[in-house]
Amino acid sequence: MKKHLWKLGKTLLFWAILLLLLVQTNYVLRNKNLAEEVYCFYQEEPNSLDVLFVGASHIMCGIYPDLLEQNFGLKSYDCASSAMVLPQCYYQLLEALRYQTPKLVVLDASGSAFGDVKTGTAEYAHIQLDNFRFSANKIAAIYDLIEPESRKEYLFPLIVFHTRWKELKCQDLEPIVSDTRGAVVYTKQAVVGELPTLIPREDRTPLAEVPESYLRKCLDECRARDIPVLLLCTPTLYDEQTQRMYNSVDPIAAEYGVPYLNLHYSLDEMGFDLRTDMADEGHCNDKGAAKVTAYVGAYIMEMLGNNEN
Amino acid sequence: MIFTSLKFLTFAVLTLVGYFALPKKLRWIWLTALSVYFYLCVGLKYGVFLLVSLLSVWLCGLYVKKGRWVLVLTLLVNLGLLAVLKYAAFAVTNLNRLPFVAIPVPEFVAPLGMSFYTFLSVSYIMDVYRELSEPQKNPLKLLLYLSFFPHITQGPIDRYETLAPQLFEGHSFDYARCAVGLRRALWGFFEKLVIADRLGLLVDPIFAAPGNYNGMEVLIAIFAYAIQIYADFAGYMDIACGLCEVLGIRLTENFDAPYFSASVPEFWRRWHMSLGSFFRDYLFYPVLRSGWMRKLKKKVGDRKKANKLATVIALAVVWTATGIWHGSAWHYIAWGMYYGGLIIASELIQFKRHLPKPLQVLRTFLLVLFGYVIFRSDNLARAWEILVQLTRFGDSGANLGLDTPDLIVACVATAILLVHDILRIRGKRPGELVAALPLPLRWVLVYVCVLSVVIFGVYGPEYNAASFIYFAF
């Protein structure tokens, strides 16, 4: 019996060490470009956030959680990643809600314009999914979002990134850290020619099937957990067609009874200048982000009924 | 299902877990089911050919005593199927070169591993006919022997008498044997993914367009191909044998440090050994002992000369068959005849072996390299182009296909393979040496090997996952 136990223990120890080595190798070798936004979310204390922002790069560049805390006392995090389309947002939301129970979820509505896709490019999908902790939600996300022939590359990212051994730097061995709570600061200013015409808010085009269904899934999930939602669309220089898609979120928001802040129609109120406050066509720079954060913060405070604080 | 795919790894784990979880009596059924599944993964239609072979071989085993015609008929069915599916297009293409001949070229695709399971079938019925083996009455058991997944795609060509009892016996789990088997399979993955597939990145472009490279680069490619094909084939064998070792089944060894052979015949006794012994037992000796050979010997009169002539004819037949077996193209036939010529020459000419052993090994290796030029080239014209290109000097400015870090990894890994084979020719078994190490050292070695495969292995979406070279044969 002792002999068998010794063999069993030895085997378990062997595989445990091997697993640890593989996990560490995976960490060292994987592409850490833009990883911190998703990865560092796990460093937040559980159930410590008041507001959870979920969305694409528009959120990362448009909302500064530090300013929100400084000015409104709201602790928040930008659970966002580049080109994160609404299906990805749905799994990001589920992942975030495993650790946090916020007073409000702010959902990026700009994903409504991404079309009938379940992920951005493979690189962007890796940025999000590789930085998820291993869980049933991660597996569900991979099985839902990724084509069958590529799933193994997300379940075992080493398949993709093992070739990075040639380009390893010291930073790859260091822990991923971020002090911006998911925000990305752009200081550059977009070169703006003619400003796009702002179309009437009633001018809409039907949403594609995939973004609409996942937007509804997000809203259903929050409703099921009794968490209020705010839909948000940060200012952009996009064309009229994209604006029409953003406007198409209005009837869904009305159907669910959730507010929808489409900031394209609040530029004057915010004091937002599209010529000076944008970093590029779709993202705010630091000046723009400060204005958006202040405006959204005030709106949230009002929404949460905390104006007196 | 390529051995180095995640799908196969999952399959292998399921195989092992299921095998030891089931009662001993049912284990061979489990292996049969998995082998059939493995085979049908390639395509359901290919199962038909396997079924035809199985039925003919099974019936032949049962009724071979009724007369020699049963054996002949079964050989015709099995070798005929192989000939039609694998060689019809080649034969018709060549016939069409004759004036006034215009036959439509058939577009058959030979089923996976057909060359191997046909040879397994032939060896079984011949052994039953010669009363070396008992006929198998249970067709499912015979199906397992023919389709056993570790050997159906690339061999080894195991004899029924040696392999079948092991397959049908339910083996108990043995911790030490399991560790030895898994370490061997790991070494196989190292050979295939770190060495063979990496060198393939260098070899393929040079053999595809040798005109773009200078003589030194072409020479490097030929040398690299020698390492690639060995690491590829031996890697497959180590994975297959390692997995079988865990199950308690010992497959026939196919390699024994072949590049350390002092002569070409010795090389072929150390390279693809099961194919060599198959041709020896089922072609060479039958040709040598055939009625027409006896008549020919009688005509020659002088016994010594007659024996020499018979051996030369039998060798010529064997080596032409070896060439044809490897593929339906002239360069394979030329390659077989090249080796046939060398081996016949070594039979006829008694070399005074005054060369020191290392030089004999070098001479053999150079002859083998020349053979690879014929073997690896797409056709004979390309082989000639490569040989001509060897004489061209000057900077080609071409990209070698591997950058410096990859070349360093390839060299270090090849050096490890060299050490492995040096140990073998010194009569030591690397697997046993590792098993004798103290536990911490053994684990470190295994971890280093796993991480080497994971990090330095050539796989993933950046690469076109290379199939094992011998899958094609």
B-chain CB neighbours of A163 within 8 Å are 460, 462
Q: What are the Cα distances from residue A53, in Å, to A68, A69, A237, A269, B312?
A: 12, 13, 22, 22, 83
- Decide if B15 is inside a domain: no
Predicted confidence (pLDDT) at residue B430 exceeds the cutoff of 50: yes
- Decide if A159 is inside a domain: no
Predicted confidence (pLDDT) at residue B333 exceeds the cutoff of 50: yes
| Section B244-260 average pLDDT | 94
| pLDDT score for A194 | 86
- Decide if B7 is inside a domain: no
**What is the CA B74 to chain-centroid distance, rounded?**
24
Instruction: Specify the DSSP class assigned to residue A132.
Output: S
Whether residues B270 and B155 share a domain: the answer is no
Of B175, B454, B461, which is closest to A7 when you measure between CB atoms? B175
Q: Is A213 left (phi over 0), alpha (psi -120 to 50) or beta?
A: alpha
Q: Do B234 and B271 meet the contact criterion of CB atoms below 8 Å apart?
A: no
pLDDT tens readout for residues A236-246: 999 888 999 99
Spatial CB neighbours of A167, under 8 Å, sequence gap ≥ 6? none
pLDDT tens readout for residues A95-136: 999 999 999 999 999 888 888 888 888 888 998 999 999 999
- The pLDDT confidence band at residue B468, using thresholds 50, 70 and 90, is low
CA nearest to A156 within chain B:
B6
| Section A34-54 average pLDDT | 90
| Section B198-210 average pLDDT | 93
B-chain CB neighbours of A159 within 8 Å are 6, 459-461
Q: Exposed, middle or buried: residue B161 (CB in 10 Å: 0-12, 13-18, 19+)?
A: middle
Of B6, B405, B457, which is closest to A152 when you measure between CB atoms? B6
- Decide if B20 is inside a domain: no
B-chain CB neighbours of A14 within 8 Å are 443
Whether residues B131 and B258 share a domain: the answer is no
Whether residues B259 and B406 share a domain: the answer is yes
CA nearest to A17 within chain B:
B447
Predicted confidence (pLDDT) at residue B232 exceeds the cutoff of 80: yes
| pLDDT score for B115 | 87
Residue A109 distance to chain B (closest CA, Å): 33
The pLDDT > 70 percentage for chain B reads: 96
CB contact under 8 A, B450 and A17: no
Task: State the Cα–Cα distance between residues B15 and B8, nearest whole angstrom.
Answer: 10
Evaluate the omega torsion of the peptide bond into residue B156 and state whether it is cis, within 30 degrees of 0: yes
- Decide if A198 is inside a domain: yes
B172 touches chain A (CB under 8 A): no
CB contact under 8 A, B443 and A14: yes
CB contact under 8 A, A156 and B6: yes
Whether residues B162 and B183 share a domain: the answer is no
Instruction: Specify the DSSP class assigned to residue A197.
Output: P
Last residue of a domain, one of B140, B170, B200: B170
Residue B184 distance to chain A (closest CA, Å): 17
B456 touches chain A (CB under 8 A): yes
B175 touches chain A (CB under 8 A): yes
The answer to whether the Cα torsion of B198, B202, B203, B208 is positive or negative is positive
| Total tally of structural domains belonging to chain B | 2
The domain spanning residue A175 has which CATH number?
3.40.50.1110
| Total tally of structural domains belonging to chain A | 1
Q: Do B377 and B386 meet the contact criterion of CB atoms below 8 Å apart?
A: yes
| Section B31-36 average pLDDT | 95
Q: Do A111 and A55 meet the contact criterion of CB atoms below 8 Å apart?
A: yes
CA nearest to B178 within chain A:
A11
Instruction: Specify the DSSP class assigned to residue A22.
Output: H
What ipTM does the predicted assembly reach?
A: 0.82
Spatial CB neighbours of A160, under 8 Å, sequence gap ≥ 6? A126, A153, B460, B461, B462
- Decide if A9 is inside a domain: no
The whole domain housing B119 covers: 26-170
Assign A240 to helix, strand or coil: helix
Whether residues B317 and B338 share a domain: the answer is yes
pLDDT tens readout for residues A278-296: 999 999 999 999 999 999 9
CB contact under 8 A, A18 and B450: yes
- Tokens (6 digits) for A36: 């911190």
A-chain CB neighbours of B451 within 8 Å are 21-22, 25
| pLDDT score for A308 | 46
Give the number of other CB atoms < 10 A from CB of residue A303.
Answer: 18
Note the residue count of chain B. 473
Assign A262 to helix, strand or coil: strand
B438 touches chain A (CB under 8 A): no
Of A22, A160, A166, which is closest to B405 when you measure between CB atoms? A166
Of A152, A156, A163, which is closest to B462 when you measure between CB atoms? A163
Assign A134 to helix, strand or coil: coil
- Decide if B430 is inside a domain: yes
Task: State the Cα–Cα distance between residues A218 and A236, nearest whole angstrom.
Answer: 23
* Three-state SS annotation for chain B: CCCCCHHHHHHHHHHHHHHHHCCHHHHHHHHHHHHHHHHHCCCCCHHHHHHHHHHHHHHHHHHHHHCHHHHHHHHHHHHHHHHHHHHHHHHHHHHCCCCCCCCCCCCCCCCCCHHHHHHHHHHHHHHHHCCCCCCCCCHHHHHHHHHCHHHHCCCCCCCHHHHHHHHHCCCCCCHHHHHHHHHHHHHHHHHHHHHHHHHHHHHHHHHHCHHHCCHHHHHHHHHHHHHHHHHHHHHHHHHHHHHHHHHCCCCCCCCCCHHHCCCHHHHHHHCCHHHHHHHHHHHHHHHHCCHHHHHHHHHHCCHHHHHHHHHHHHHHHHHHHHHHHHCCCHHHHHHHHHHHHHHHHHHHCCCCCCCCHHHHHHHHHHHHHHHHHHHHCCCHHHHHHHHHHCCCCCCCCCCCCCCHHHHHHHHHHHHHHHHHHHHHHCCCCHHHHHHCCCHHHHHHHHHHHHHHHHHHCCCCCCCCCCCCHHHHC
- Decide if B102 is inside a domain: yes
Q: Do A26 and A167 meet the contact criterion of CB atoms below 8 Å apart?
A: no
- Decide if B12 is inside a domain: no
Of A10, A153, A162, which is closest to B455 when you measure between CB atoms? A162
Task: State the Cα–Cα distance between residues B266 and B258, nearest whole angstrom.
Answer: 8
CB contact under 8 A, A158 and B454: yes
The whole domain housing A100 covers: 34-117+171-303
- Decide if B460 is inside a domain: yes
| pLDDT score for B472 | 55
CA nearest to B452 within chain A:
A162
| pLDDT score for A195 | 86
- Tokens (6 digits) for B6: 């995640």
- Round the CA-based radius of gyration of chain B to a whole number and report it: 23
| Section B21-39 average pLDDT | 94
CA nearest to A167 within chain B:
B405
Last residue of a domain, one of B107, B136, B170: B170
| pLDDT score for A98 | 95
Which residue of B442, B451, B458 to mutate against A (max A Cβ within 10 Å)?
B451
- Decide if A144 is inside a domain: no
| pLDDT score for B318 | 95
**What is the CA B26 to chain-centroid distance, rounded?**
31
Assign A238 to helix, strand or coil: coil
Residue A199 distance to chain B (closest CA, Å): 44
- Decide if A179 is inside a domain: yes
A-chain CB neighbours of B456 within 8 Å are 162, 165
Task: State the Cα–Cα distance between residues B365 and B261, nearest whole angstrom.
Answer: 8
Predicted confidence (pLDDT) at residue B353 exceeds the cutoff of 80: no
Of A10, A25, A153, which is closest to B455 when you measure between CB atoms? A25
DSSP A99-116: T---SEEEEEGGGGGS-S
| Section B271-300 average pLDDT | 90
B-chain CB neighbours of A162 within 8 Å are 454-457, 459-460
Note the residue count of chain A. 309
Predicted confidence (pLDDT) at residue A309 exceeds the cutoff of 50: no
* Burial profile B44-68: b = 16 or more Cβ within 10 angstroms, e = fewer: eebbebbeebbebbbbbbeebeeee
- The pLDDT confidence band at residue B34, using thresholds 50, 70 and 90, is very high
pLDDT tens readout for residues B92-112: 988 888 888 888 888 877 788
Residue A93 distance to chain B (closest CA, Å): 29
Whether residues B109 and B191 share a domain: the answer is no
| pLDDT score for B469 | 60
Kindly report which listed range (A230-234, A280-284, B73-77, B466-470) carries the lowest average pLDDT score.
B466-470
How many CA within 13 A on the CB side of residue B122? 22
CA nearest to B10 within chain A:
A152
Predicted confidence (pLDDT) at residue B462 exceeds the cutoff of 90: no
Of B175, B447, B457, which is closest to A162 when you measure between CB atoms? B457
- Decide if B404 is inside a domain: yes
- Tokens (6 digits) for A192: 């703006």
- Decide if A1 is inside a domain: no
* Burial profile A20-42: b = 16 or more Cβ within 10 angstroms, e = fewer: eebeebbbbbbbbebbbbbbbbe
The answer to whether the Cα torsion of A252, A255, A257, A262 is positive or negative is positive
Residues 5-24, chain B, touching A (beta carbon < 8 A): 6
Whether residues B309 and B445 share a domain: the answer is yes
CB contact under 8 A, A166 and B403: yes
Residue B122 distance to chain A (closest CA, Å): 39
Kindly report which listed range (A38-42, A259-263, B163-167) carries the lowest average pLDDT score.
A38-42
Q: How far apart are the first and last CA of chain B?
A: 16
Whether residues B158 and B213 share a domain: the answer is no
Of A198 and B30, more confident: B30
Last residue of a domain, one of B170, B188, B219: B170
Of A228 and B464, more confident: A228
